[in-house]
Amino acid sequence: MAKTMTFPVGGVHPEEGKDRTSGLPIRVSEPPGEVAVLMAQHIGAPARPVVKKKDRVRKGQLVGEAQGFISANVHAPVSGAVKAVEERIYSVTGRRVPAVIIENDGQERWARGLNEPQDVESMEPARMVELVHECGVVGLGGATFPSHVKLSPPAETPIADVFVNGAECEPCATVDHRLMLEHTDDVVDGLKLIMRIVKAPNGYVGIERNKPDAIEAFRKALADEASIRVVALQVKYPQGAEQQLITAVTGREVPSQGGLPGDVGCLVHNVATTLAVRDAIRFRRPLVERALTVTGDGIENAGNFVERVGTSVAGILERQGLREGANQLILGGPMMGIAQGTADVPLVKGNNALLVLRGARIPPQRDCIHCGRCVEHCPLGLMPAELSIACEKQDWDAAVELNMLECKECGCCAYVCPAKRRIVHMIKFGKAELRLRKARAREGS
Ligand code: SF4
Ligand code: SF4
């Protein structure tokens, strides 16, 4: 058997829950009659709306302009008329943020100069990054970090190794698996373009061994490529976290205390992001749609779909059918996804899965019994029990001392906790509270 790699510390083996949709080809859904395009759906500064009520827009037209380098443009996913610029709920934060509401005219007319083949062979790397920036590409694995920033590493930290992250370790999510099978050559093309931009000599496609058909497809496609390796990864959560993937393949450790993959010469993009980067460079195609998995025991017709950004999540669920007893919606998978209080939210670039559960209930939380399981399974070697208690007591000095800001919110600690403590919830609360205090201090100074 070929050697498989993994990260050395912590991790868990949750039930995969992928069988229901992993064999289902991606279907392109009909665009909805109306979309709500949020201005804040990425890491960094929210975009600024550049259209107003009654404006006519074409598909791909800029409707929200990035504000600063760490920000991202947003574009019209359909052609039509701007019905309103008003606030809608952002599912990631639960807060209302400005959104451009567009009534679809069904014409699918692209804005001039977009969605057309570009002369890539003679294109300079700087122009490629400019196109990625212009097209509003962000990390589609859920992180939503603007891709043009990642593609502009500082000169003092050159990139040697570029990864396509095909681990898809989150239970229930199968869309990256399908993209790898259905767009193998395009993923390879995207990887090569990224290697060209950052002048990296080595490429890797990292895939967990529970996707042998994808591993096989890439081994075939890359049979003559000496500079790109396909790496079969052990099935272990969170194998797809950047840090864990890099350590598994290269043995290098991303420094703690705010270190980045670039500090160890690495750059990681997930499968869907690699394809979006390619679309931006090859076709000047803005990111106006994304593929995602819709699944869970509360969904009648599960599957993998391409949906327009801004589509109503409630509309998707209605179309796929809810089963009796469906009572919980999670955007993302069961480990890192965010439970929603309402389905009345628009789809954003970072949504890789909609999970609907039935008969779900939140078990009562008990006191910590100091069993140490959370420490044993934390892939970052943190002290989740102490950390969550510090957050509960609102002792922020202690929480920072315990490296709260290093936590990647992977959920391994909460998954193994016999006392069902809501460790990640408390850490998220702690991080949000600290951000708020810093912002207030800045305003006051
Ligand atoms: S959520 Fe944070 S503390 Fe918990 S296991 Fe993951 S990294 Fe560690
Ligand atoms: S796993 Fe739960 S009960 Fe055990 S030490 Fe961690 S927080 Fe406490």
Share of the chain above pLDDT 70, in %: 99
Q: Is the CB of 373 under 6 A from ligand 2?
A: yes
Do residues 263 and 145 share a domain? yes
Does 235 map to a domain? yes
Does 388 map to a domain? yes
In whole angstroms, what separates CA 391 from the centre of its chain? 26
Whether the Cβ atoms of residue 164 and residue 222 lie closer than 8 Å to each other: no
Whose Cα sits closest to atom 3 in ligand 1? 384
- Per-residue model confidence as pLDDT tens digits over 93-136: 888 999 999 999 999 999 999 999 999 999 999 999 999 999 99
Backbone angles phi, psi at 382, to 5 degrees: -85, 180
Share of the chain above pLDDT 90, in %: 89
Does 19 map to a domain? no
CA of 409 to the centre of ligand 1 (A): 5
CA-CA distance, 297 to 426, in Å (whole number)?
Answer: 28
Q: Is the CB of 411 under 6 A from ligand 1?
A: yes
Residue 424 CA: nearest ligand 1 atom is: 1
Whether the Cβ atoms of residue 336 and residue 425 lie closer than 8 Å to each other: no
- Helix (H) / strand (E) element for 197: namely helix 184-198
- In the chain, how many domains are there? 2
Q: Is the CB of 371 under 6 A from ligand 2?
A: yes
- Final residue of a structural domain among 252, 283, 314: 283
Q: Is the CB of 389 under 6 A from ligand 2?
A: no
Nearest residue to 169 via CA among 411, 419, 413, 436: 411
Does 413 map to a domain? yes
Q: Is the CB of 101 under 6 A from ligand 1?
A: no
Whose Cα sits closest to atom 1 in ligand 2? 417
Does 244 map to a domain? yes
CA of 397 to the centre of ligand 1 (A): 18
Do residues 404 and 259 share a domain? no
Environment class of 299 (CB within 10 Å of its CB; exposed 0-12, middle 13-18, buried 19+): buried
Whose Cα sits closest to atom 7 in ligand 1? 407
Peptide bond into 171 cis (omega under 30): no
CA of 381 to the centre of ligand 1 (A): 8
Does 288 map to a domain? no
Whether the Cβ atoms of residue 138 and residue 145 lie closer than 8 Å to each other: yes
Cα–Cα distance list, 437 to 396, 432, 441 (Å) = 10, 9, 6
Whether the Cβ atoms of residue 261 and residue 242 lie closer than 8 Å to each other: yes
Average pLDDT, the chain: 95
CA of 234 to the centre of ligand 1 (A): 20
Which tokens sit at 314? 């409630």
Q: Where are the beta strands (DSSP E) in 311-444?
A: 326-331, 338-340, 353-358
Structure confidence at residue 2 (pLDDT): 46
Q: Is the CB of 408 under 6 A from ligand 1?
A: yes
- Per-residue model confidence as pLDDT tens digits over 386-428: 999 999 999 999 999 999 999 999 999 999 999 999 999 999 9
User: What CATH number did the domain enclosing 194 receive?
Assistant: 3.40.50.11540
pTM for the model stands at 0.95
Give the domain range for residue 215: 126-283
Which tokens sit at 282? 């090859």
Q: What confidence tier does 3 reach under pLDDT thresholds 50, 70, 90?
A: low
- Final residue of a structural domain among 261, 283, 305: 283
Q: Is the CB of 380 under 6 A from ligand 1?
A: yes
Whose Cα sits closest to atom 4 in ligand 2? 371
Q: What confidence tier does 1 reach under pLDDT thresholds 50, 70, 90?
A: very low
Does 220 map to a domain? yes
Does 15 map to a domain? no
Whether the Cβ atoms of residue 409 and residue 424 lie closer than 8 Å to each other: yes
Q: 3-state class of 419 per DSSP? A: coil
- Which letter, b or e, does each residue of 156-173 get, where b requires 16 or more Cβ atoms within 10 Å of its Cβ? eeebebbbbbbbbbbbbb
- Helix (H) / strand (E) element for 418: namely none
Residue from 367, 374, 382 to probe ligand 2 pocket by mutation (most atoms less than 8 Å from CB):
374
Do residues 268 and 380 share a domain? no
Which amino acid, 239?
Q
- Final residue of a structural domain among 283, 311, 341: 283
Which tokens sit at 430? 């702690």
- Helix (H) / strand (E) element for 62: namely strand 62-65
